[in-house]
Homo-oligomer: A and B are copies of this chain.
Amino acid sequence: MDSPEFKTNAAGREVPLSFNGRSHVPFQGVNKYSPKGHKYAAPVPSSQDFPRDGDKRVKSLKEALKKSGLKNGMCISTHHHFRNGDLLANQVFDAANEMGIKDLVWFPSASFPCHEYLIKYLENGCIHHIEGSMNGPLGRYTSEGKMKKGLGVLRSHGGRYQALQDGEVHIDIAVIGAGCADPFGNANGLTGPSASGLLGFALADSEYADKVIVATDNMVEFPCIPWQIHGNNVDFTLLMEKIGDPEKIISGTTRISKSPDRLYLAELTAKFCEAAGIIREGFSFQSGAGGTSLAVGEYFRKIMREKNIKARFARGGSNTYLVSMLEEGLVEYILDGQTFDLEGVRSMIENPAHVWTSPFTSYNHHSKGNFAGMVDVVVLGATEIDVEFNANVVTHSDGYLLHGVGGWQNCLFSKTVILPVPLFRDRIPVIRNRVTTLCGPGELIDVIVTERGIAINPLRKDLIEKVKGSGLPVRPIQELKDEAERICGKPEQPEFTRNPVAVVKWVDGTVLDTIWQVGNYSD
């Protein structure tokens, strides 16, 4: 890859002006970039080119790819509804590789450790590069400069929808794995051995890709009800033996933390919300699927029970804990963005108040508003935070890319954003002078909760005022940072080369930061 031209963006980060074959706009500031023109639109199909009886079944993945016109250099998308139990993406590239296809762009909604398998196709040229989150092994591979032909592009869930909608990324062939589908292509993730809940991450692909393949291990007669994916957008359907590993589809992260430190962070976060008046009749909240976030939900439950408070809705990933709050009547609606366990799936099937959403409804910045902004409080994680409340969620302090953005950036638009983080991890301070990678601008991050005190963003004078006299340990962020450094010492800075390996996009499609090749690894 030729060395791209760089520019320092509005966040003070050096970002490339072009990569992966097209130019990109540097970050201009939060809510500063105004999109122009019209959305992308797929070619006009005609029903006369499809079987009149609606039966679009083909016999194999290879046949589906061939009939979709698979060629060198195309962009293929897959989705992470099966999480680390995904058995489909690897088979897609096995098929493409057997067909002798080269230089494919893989555009997953997220990648998981199970996709380490695909490194061999990056090595042999079947895959050109990956545009999408790279967790674990693929992140490490990328950080070491081994994905040589293109930059990784990390987008939020909403940003991925925006990129497709705005025509920034064009998918030639989308392969959608579904727990249940009919021969016409109507599909949902609710039943069958690979039931995973909703299929929201594939919505944009079904709307904007040239060709759409739905693969299932559970083909039912038309109509597949409900249809989360419309068969009217689908070209080919396919019954496969195995597309997901049920045990691994269930996320490993949906257990409440048992660590006393984490539980303390969660309790402090809930207490802060209570003191700030956020937990009130009809409020709304979102918390992630991590152990601490789940624990926050449990502390919310306790407070809500005590004060007889009901939330209007909870957004985000659903799981056993949230479902039990819904069924207890503490939450009126779950607006589900990702179903993390089978209790979530069961509830989604049974309960009309457990509603499936998509990155379009919840997160797309280039729409006429989205749900994220309506949520009263969101509790998120971070790998690093700086003294101006900027946060990092994709790289570790050693410079390695190890996580995707997920819905994290999109959630920053909620009314109050709280990051409960330990002051240090493995004796490495979490609060820094400057985050290794900028994922979230500090002006959108309101509160940092640590085990040694709570820092409130000075921009949120209202919150500072509200918790005065509450007895909560509110402290300036600089003080927290100094304290961590007194205990752990000043953190070392990671060494980087001048070789960019990936970029982080902002929710509006502009380039927020660059991830550089680490300089200190031994091959």
Chain A residues within 8 Å of B, Cβ to Cβ: 31, 34-48, 50-54, 56, 165-166, 184-185, 212, 221-223, 225-227, 230-235, 282, 312-313, 333, 335, 352-353, 355, 360-361, 364-371, 373-374, 413, 415, 508
Contacts and interface: CB of A to CB of B under 8 A. Distances in A.
A369 B51 contact: yes
- Interface core residue of A47, A51, A333 (most chain B CB under 10 Å): A47
Nearest to A167: B41
Given A54-B374, A222-B312, A373-B54, A232 B367 contact: yes
Contacts of A366: 44-47
A465 to B, nearest CB: 20
Given A46-B365, A373-B54, A355 B225 contact: yes
Given A166-B44, A369-B50, A313 B223 contact: yes
Q: Which 8 pairs, one residue from A and one from B, show the smallest C-beta to C-beta distance? A: A41-B41, A39-B41, A31-B48, A50-B369, A35-B44, A54-B374, A232-B367, A52-B373
16 contacts: A31-B48, A37-B43, A39-B44, A41-B41, A47-B367, A52-B373, A223-B371, A225-B333, A226-B355, A227-B361, A230-B361, A231-B368, A231-B369, A232-B368, A233-B368, A234-B368
The secondary-structure label for the interface of chain A is: loop
Nearest to A45: B368
Contact of A45 (B52, B185, B232, B367): B367
A504 to B, nearest CB: 19
A170 B233 CA distance: 22
Contact of A46 (B34, B333, B352): B34
A417 to B, nearest CB: 13
A181 B226 CA distance: 22
Given A41-B40, A44-B39, A221 B373 contact: no
B413 A373 contact: no
A165 B47 contact: no
Given A230-B360, A355-B223, A373-B53, A36 B47 contact: no
A302 to B, nearest CB: 25
Contacts of A235: 368
Contacts of A333: 223, 225
A179 to B, nearest CB: 17
A365 B47 contact: yes
Contacts of A367: 45, 47, 232-233
Contact of A369 (B43, B56, B365): B56
Contacts of A361: 227, 230-232
A42 B368 CA distance: 12
Nearest to A37: B44
B43 A42 contact: no
Given A40-B41, A364-B232, A369 B165 contact: no
Nearest to A350: B352
Nearest to A50: B369
